[in-house]
Amino acid sequence: MKLGRNDPCWCGSGKKLKRCHGSAPQTMMPRPPRNLQIMHGADLVKMRAACRLAANILDEVCERVTPGTNTETINQWVHDLTLAAGAYPSPLNYPKGETDPRAPKITPGGFPKSVCTSINDVVCHGIPKATDVLKDGDIVNIDVTVTLDGFYGDTSRTVYVGTPSADAKQVVETARECLDLGIKAVRPHGRLIEIGEAIFNYATKRGLGVVRDYTGHGIGRIFHAEPQVCHYPNKDSDCDLIPGMTFTIEPMINLGSWRTQLDHSDQWTVYTQDRKISAQFEHTILVTDQGSEILTLADRSA
């Protein structure tokens, strides 16, 4: 169906076609995301607060990690800090609390903990356990999401436990740089695919694998919404980047193959298929009129 000039623009901006993409040939228009999280005004104030809280909690917890720490202790730290701030640890019982009908239903039961802790060859969604004791030379990704005032803030970081190996340094620092490059690729009315291109090109040139099965996502009042933010070039998920959009960029970089394997015993833990180590960094991003804003930066004065 051909859009009229006074119809809402196909890109999801909320503007009329004639005031947005009216000059673009409609045969080249990608499918618009159905449920973009667009933040302005009071909503953006609340979104910033949720993201800042998640970042502050992650910062404090990462500083406490040492050899001998078990991941159940990390879970308790995150749980207690979140509740003390008047927020809710979003992973706990997820997806039972999710409001988006298109959110992935990974398991009929909810996630059993308040944070994801992914050690060494675990790509994502690692479940904290008292028996998972961190050793010198391990790497662990700590993924914190909080719900505050009806908005979600989501961020993660991979930390070195003690002295890292050369392999650990390569994969962790590459993952960190990939996140930075992905953020730099964000520009108003740019393309979502440019984020994936920047990350994929850099990681593969370094001989590392970029996970394809798990991606970033739109976030705001909903934990997992559109767009799907791929960390490799994917035309199917491409869309226009609209000022006010909020989403996560969270590249998962593997020392070996990009392929992953789900642990069917718990239906959550995701390993690298070849059991080589994996690292991840994540920020929640706002598209602005000038470029982008990282919402999940810790407040060092807090």
Give per-residue pLDDT as tens, 3-21.
Answer: 456 655 544 455 566 666 5
Cα(271)–Cα(142) distance, integer angstroms: 15
CA 112 to the chain's CA centroid? 19
Which of 5-14, 39-48, 188-197 bottoms out in mean pLDDT, i.e. has the lowest?
Answer: 5-14
Residue 95 is predicted with a pLDDT of: 86
18: three-class secondary structure by DSSP:
helix
pLDDT tens-place string over residues 123-178: 999 999 999 999 999 999 999 999 999 999 999 999 999 999 999 999 999 999 99
Q: Is 266's pLDDT higher than 80?
A: yes
Give the β-pairing of 122-124 and 270-272.
Answer: antiparallel
The CB density around residue 302, as the number of other CB atoms within 10 Å, is 12
Q: Is 34-294 a domain of CATH 3.30.930.10?
A: no
Let me know the angle formed at the C-alpha of 251 by 206 and 159, rounded to the nearest 5 degrees.
85
Residue 65 half-sphere exposure toward CB, CA atoms < 13 A: 32
Cα(161)–Cα(62) distance, integer angstroms: 10
Residue 35 is predicted with a pLDDT of: 77
Could you tell me which of 205, 188, 185 has the C-alpha nearest to residue 196? Answer: 185
Mean pLDDT of 44-50: 98
Query: CA end-to-end span of the chain, whole Å?
Result: 52
Task: Indicate if the alpha-carbon torsion angle 36, 195, 177, 244 is positive or negative.
Answer: negative
| Helix H or strand E encompassing 286 | strand 283-287
- Is the CB of residue 49 less than 8 Å from the CB of residue 105? no
Q: Which amino acid does the sequence have at 130?
A: A
Alpha helices (H) in 225-292, listed in sequence order: none
Please report, for the chain, the start and end positions of each structural domain, with discontinuous segments joined by +: 34-294
Rg of the chain in Å (alpha carbons): 19
